[in-house]
Amino acid sequence: MPGNGLWRTKSIEQSIADTDEPDTKLRKDLTAWDLTVFGVAVVIGAGIFTLTARTAGDLAGPSVSLAFVLAAIACALAALCYAEFASTVPVAGSAYTFSYATFGEFVAWIIGWDLILEFAVGSAAVAKGWSIYLQTVLKYLGVNVKTSFLVGGHEVDWGALLLVGTLTVLLIVGTKLSSRVSAVITAVKVAVVLLVIVLGIGYINTENYSPYVPPAAEGAAAGGTGLEQSLFSLITGYSGSTYGVLGLLAAASLVFFAFIGFDVVATTAEETKNPQRAVPRGILGSLAIVTVLYVAVSLVITGMLPYDKLKTQPDGTRATLATAFADNGVDWAATVISVGALAGLTTVVMVLMLGQTRVLFAMSRDGLLPRSLAKTGSHGTPVKITLIIGVLIAVAAGFFPAGKLEEMVNVGTLFAFVLVSAGVLVLRKTRPDLPRGFRVPWVPLVPILAIAACLWLMLNLTALTWVRFLIWMVIGVVVYFAYSRSHSVLGRTGHAEVRPEPVIKRDEEP
């Protein structure tokens, strides 16, 4: 039964039945390979070229490779829960749709509002980073042109505007075309990463791996003071440590964010030909690929240079992969790394924008946002939503500095992970009869471990990030009660209309 008021739930059967509405039907074009490409595309960004070196120098030393493994394990726990949900409820919207079926409309709205923050802020911030790398690459090619200019005292980032505009057109034309473009660009950046690994192996000095876990050195490595320190530090008064076992754990919390983005794969479930098999394979396959690449890069860079040479300098200068190659006299590698980072950021923005449009599409179809936005065009994509998102992200990226809003992406993502992991436990209890294309092993242990890991990582975010996140959530609550609650399709009908024939089927393919 759907329930009433804030906690009314939308049945799984109705969620899937809604995907057949002619005016709001998405085209099913994607395969497991397409989803794996999307996952790799959004996870491997500029972070692999910068985060690895900085974390090794400031927190973990050579054990940064182990930190990536620990982070990957924590991420895999949440990924297993996403895979079960996405194979059971192959509907656009990811965590929003899953929450609607388990926790009710109000929680679903909150998580949808949270995902809007995650994808929109992430897209704008990464687009600005792309513009910076474009300027660097053009300089290497002999074209010394700034990717921004001043208009009336305000900086306009034409590089970010160009990127967002181009990607908006691609996403309107079709998800399959977006997938093909993403595949080509992803191949370029993966090739650059592999080149860095193969080239760097020749400069490895095994003595740099000793000690693998450097002795602990006390200090406020994890952040500043007041609201700038982590929530854990604010609560406990513990300042953290550099290196040692605690430094390793702090590093795992930091590099976890290099994996963020695989959950976007779940937002495309409705556009997948065989979601019961393809979505779990896409999520887990992309996570496995990027883990191998991250660990390999971290082993190479800490083998090329002693970890103390990778520390952040007093003037704020941070080490990158280029630092290690420059120190070994391979200056041309900086150009290659910049090209790889540019390619990496292109696909990150594309897939984040795709995730953003699909979450808003699901919320509009349910009436929590204007239903007219959910209408799909001749290409089987939500044209209005894609245009609106493209304009908003272009304005944010083109005219405003990203600032520390980027950190809000992390808290929003982890909050979604917690709800999805808890949702698996709830749905196993309330709907044990549902056919599941993929089942999380060792329930309830795996979901509980996923929740614990995500909560720990959330505690390591700054208190200021939490304040901003709570303000955004308060705005969301106001919007829900002012508009969404009264316009909800489920609220107006008073019940979830279930089609007479069950629409969930087990995969019949061998």
Q: What are the per-10-residue average pLDDT scores of the chain (510 residues)?
A: 68 81 77 86 76 86 93 89 86 83 91 87 84 82 84 82 92 75 84 90 94 77 61 74 80 79 76 84 90 94 92 74 83 81 84 87 92 81 90 85 60 86 92 88 94 87 84 94 92 53 39
Distance between CA 472 and CA 408 in Å, rounded? 10
pLDDT value of position 502? 37
| Residue 243 parent element (H or E) | none
Angle formed at CA 7 by CA 496 and CA 436, multiple of 5 degrees: 60
pLDDT value of position 207? 94
Those residues with Cβ within 8 angstroms of residue 391's Cβ, 6 or more apart along the chain or in another chain: none
Q: In order of start, what are the domains of the chain with their CATH numbers?
A: 29-492 (1.20.1740.10)
pLDDT value of position 1? 44
User: Which residues partner with 218 through β-bridges?
Assistant: 241
pLDDT value of position 64? 94
Pairing of strands 241-242, 154-156: unpaired
Closest CA to 453 of 80, 98, 70, 110: 70
Pairing of strands 154-156, 149-151: antiparallel
pLDDT value of position 141? 80
Distance between CA 93 and CA 339 in Å, rounded? 33
pLDDT value of position 396? 85
Distance between CA 333 and CA 120 in Å, rounded? 32
Six-digit token pair at 158?
């034409």
156 phi-psi bin (left φ>0, alpha ψ -120 to 50, beta other): beta
Six-digit token pair at 120?
């929109």
370-429 pLDDT, tens per residue?
A: 998 888 877 777 889 999 999 999 988 887 765 555 556 778 888 888 999 999 999 899
Is residue 78 classed as helix, strand or coil in its secondary structure? helix
Cis peptide before 444, with omega less than 30 degrees from 0?
yes
Closest CA to 355 of 287, 472, 265, 279: 265
Could you tell me the CA-to-CA distances from 362 to 56, 95, 215 in Å, in that order? 41, 11, 50
DSSP 242: E
Is residue 37 classed as helix, strand or coil in its secondary structure? helix
CB-based contact 484:109 (threshold 8 Å): yes
109-126 pLDDT, tens per residue?
A: 999 998 888 888 888 888
| Residue 356 parent element (H or E) | helix 333-365
- The separation between the first and the last C-alpha atoms of the chain, rounded to the nearest angstrom, is 35
pLDDT value of position 510? 33
pLDDT value of position 452? 94
Angle formed at CA 57 by CA 42 and CA 59, multiple of 5 degrees: 80
